[in-house]
Amino acid sequence: MNILVINGPNLNLLGSREKNIYGKTSLAELMIWLETSQMGIKHKFKFFQSNHEGDIIDTIQDERFWADGIIINPGAFTHYSYAIRDSILSVSIPTIEVHLSNINNREKFRKISVIRDVCIDQIYGKGKNSYLEGLKILLEFLIDKK
């Protein structure tokens, strides 16, 4: 399967920002860990990170013929980007929303996701394992779909 992994704003600073919330693992280390995991090694990945909403939308659209599934951590865009939501909806690619932290145990605004209802699931609060669980659920969904 071809898996597109998209990371939104400020995730490029993983490993150096708010380590008590996001951990010590850098984004590059996290993506290598996911790709080389027991589940990941059987699949092809493309990784993308941007602090810019339009770049994320362009990537979703540009990869619509390559990607079988998407794992997205929209970062702060989770809470207000109807444009990313509509982009996910428009390409009809099964998508999993992931978050490193438990968004329901943080500030009130973080509990709101405008992305969630166009995704097959939302995984949060498991640190880097949120990505691995997201991959597992996404792959199960894609295999069942075939």
The token pair that represents 5 in the structure block: 């992994």
User: What is the rounded CA–CA span in Å between residue 112 and residue 124?
Assistant: 13
Q: 43 catalytic, yes or no?
A: no
Instruction: Note the maximum CA span of the chain.
Output: 41
Please pick, among 22, 43, 124, 131, the residue that the annotation labels catalytic. 22
Q: Is 38 exposed, middle or buried (0-12, 13-18, 19+ CB in 10 A)?
A: exposed
Catalytic residue among 52, 80, 82, 99: 99
Q: Give dist(CA 102, CA 124) in Å, integer.
A: 5
The residues annotated as belonging to the active site are 22, 99
